[in-house]
Amino acid sequence: MIEVKELHKSFGDAHILKGLTTAFEKGKTNMIIGQSGSGKTVFLKCLLGLHTPEEGTISFDGRIYSELDINQKRALRTEIGMLFQGSALFDSLTVEENIMFPLKMFANQTKKEMQYKVNSVLERVNLVGANPKFPAELSGGMQKRVAIARAIVMNPKYLFCDEPNSGLDPQTATVIDNLIQEITRENGIITVVNSHDMNSVMEIGEKIVFLKDGKKAWEGTNKEIFITENQAVINFVYSSNLFKKVREVYLNESKL
């Protein structure tokens, strides 16, 4: 479990995170949502160790990050997979080389062992045989699947995803959502997704943390978000007429 307690983060006079407390469980797809400026990106970067909070703690299965020494922090980072918003693949490297990159950096394995791992994760994301291709030869959805393969090649305990569906069409976005959820459940990973895609939230949000003005304004599941009376959540999630109608239908059916 990842436990966050009373997290505060500021930049100069701007107080971004204001006493944030929550927890993320193993084997679940945890979603962080909120308006631009709500603090969700800063929160994600704190979880990754890229920002140091002024107050509060973040613990990974009982290990408080701020209390770890340099070697312990480095060991923890090998347990973390990251899926970046724009995939962040190296254009000059092949698919195989992109996926093998973290193995070369952090794993003490033979070339044969690394090759096996690469082929295994490519099979898992349905890209068998894509090894020699370059990112420019792939569609956006295929690039995202390569990025997922790279993120899981080290068998991470924790997977962080920043806007995984950014730039994808709805059908491809659904494929990526399902893949992330399946991998999370299969491997018992703690997955945290920073997203503004309400379709993703409704489909795979097994736990949703809604941030507003740097605070946790609400948390619950993708079932509970349909029936919440929290006005801030309603204003954000159901801002479109389509989602208002979806919520209305759900509420009416639940009364039957």
Q: Say if residue 255's pLDDT is above 70.
A: no
**% of the chain surpassing 90 pLDDT:** 75
Question: Quick one: pLDDT at residue 122?
Answer: 95
pLDDT in tens, 176-200: 999 999 999 999 999 999 998 888 8
- Pairwise CA distance, residues 145 & 135, whole Å: 11
- Pairwise CA distance, residues 211 & 5, whole Å: 15
Structure tokens at 175: 């494929």
Question: Quick one: pLDDT at residue 15?
Answer: 95
Average pLDDT over residues 132-137: 96
Question: Quick one: pLDDT at residue 83?
Answer: 92
162 contact partners, CB below 8 Å, separation of at least 6: 41, 44, 82, 83, 84, 85, 194
pLDDT in tens, 4-43: 999 999 999 999 999 999 999 999 999 999 998 899 999 9
With cut-offs at 50, 70 and 90, classify the pLDDT of residue 240.
Answer: confident
pTM over cut 0.75? yes
The closest of 256, 205, 212 to 235, measured between CA atoms, is 212
- Pairwise CA distance, residues 129 & 209, whole Å: 38
- Pairwise CA distance, residues 178 & 93, whole Å: 27
Question: Quick one: pLDDT at residue 25?
Answer: 93
With cut-offs at 50, 70 and 90, classify the pLDDT of residue 205.
Answer: very high
pLDDT in tens, 92-115: 999 999 999 999 988 888 999 999
Domains belonging to the chain, first-starting first, are 1-79+157-226 (3.40.50.300), 90-155 (no CATH)
